[in-house]
Amino acid sequence: MLESSYSLFLALKKMDLLKNSSLYWWPNALSFEVVVGAILTQNTKWENVEKSLKNLKDSHILCKDNTQSLKNFSKLSVQSLANLIYPSGFYNQKSSRLYRLSLAILEEFGNFENFVENVSREWLLSQKGIGMESADSILNYACDREVMVVDKYTQKLLASLGYEFDDYEEIQSWLERGIEENFSQLQEYKSLSLVYARFHGKIVEFSKKKLVFNAKHFGDF
């Protein structure tokens, strides 16, 4: 058994899994694109999400101005949005969710910057089609909050290491606690939120490469 999630973080860190990624791992972190990606990636592979995001950018619905993007989404017909996000599946459902979410963000927060500053996990979870993984992805990667995302890869990896957890939030607390308690040893990172962002990214990249741990990986701690 691992000492804590910090041991897992250090073992993953040595593998240099994010060498081709941006700082926060999630492409275009801290933008509205993350909100869109968090919905689109539900029940599908990231590679399919990238195709939908490209369609949205090519048609200028998703642009550099986050609040303009929000307005574009809230003015689009659900049918034309569905056509653009066809590659990532469940397009009618996701189109409706994205349309309603964009409208709700504009109504509640007025613009993207105010959303980033003031949105809560509870508000996100009360929106149709946003579960804990989507909410936490938005909080960490779009809003730079100190929240660690838990996904299927994370659950499988911890199970393979002999951990049994009752639910999502128990896994999340365990992951966050080990990092928080050792954050003083992670001075090269400018913030706790950045460590969580990269930690989750490392877990996803490790899992996608179908790598496995052996005793050697943890031997140094």
The end-to-end CA distance of the chain, in Å, is 12
Residue 196 is inside which H or E element, if any? helix 192-208
Q: Kindly tell me which of 50 and 146 has the beta carbon lying closer to ligand EA1.
A: 50
Residue 204 CB, nearest approach to ligand EA1 (Å): 5
Q: Kindly tell me which of 133 and 180 has the beta carbon lying closer to ligand EA1.
A: 133
Q: Work out whether 36 is an interface residue with ligand EA1 (CB under 6 A).
A: no
Q: Work out whether 88 is an interface residue with ligand EA1 (CB under 6 A).
A: no
Q: How would DSSP label each residue in 146-170?
A: S-----HHHHHHHHHTT---SSHHH
Q: Kindly tell me which of 41 and 52 has the beta carbon lying closer to ligand EA1.
A: 41
Distance from C-alpha of 72 to C-alpha of 101, rounded to nearest angstrom = 12
Distance from C-alpha of 3 to C-alpha of 214, rounded to nearest angstrom = 15
- In this structure, what token pair is assigned to residue 139? 């909080």
Q: Answer yes or no: are the C-beta atoms of 138 and 194 closer than 8 Å.
A: no
130 closest CA partner among 33, 31, 36: 36
- In this structure, what token pair is assigned to residue 79? 């049918």
Going 185 to 21 to 138 to 60, the CA torsion angle's sign is positive
Q: Work out whether 153 is an interface residue with ligand EA1 (CB under 6 A).
A: no
Residue 105 CB, nearest approach to ligand EA1 (Å): 20
- Binding footprint of ligand EA1, residue count (CB under 6 A): 6
Contacts (CB under 6 A) with ligand EA1, residues 171-210 = 204
Query: Quick one: CA torsion of 218, 11, 41, 145, rounded to 10 degrees?
Result: 120
Q: Kindly tell me which of 39 and 204 has the beta carbon lying closer to ligand EA1.
A: 204
Q: Kindly tell me which of 44 and 67 has the beta carbon lying closer to ligand EA1.
A: 44
Residue number with the smallest Cβ distance to ligand EA1: 46
Residue 221 CB, nearest approach to ligand EA1 (Å): 27
Q: Answer yes or no: are the C-beta atoms of 139 and 117 closer than 8 Å.
A: no
Q: Kindly tell me which of 69 and 198 has the beta carbon lying closer to ligand EA1.
A: 198
- In this structure, what token pair is assigned to residue 35? 């909100």
Residue 26 CB, nearest approach to ligand EA1 (Å): 5
Contacts (CB under 6 A) with ligand EA1, residues 41-70 = 41, 46
Q: Work out whether 134 is an interface residue with ligand EA1 (CB under 6 A).
A: no
Q: Work out whether 24 is an interface residue with ligand EA1 (CB under 6 A).
A: no
Summarize as ranges the residues that interact with ligand EA1 (CB under 6 A). Answer: 26-27, 37, 41, 46, 204
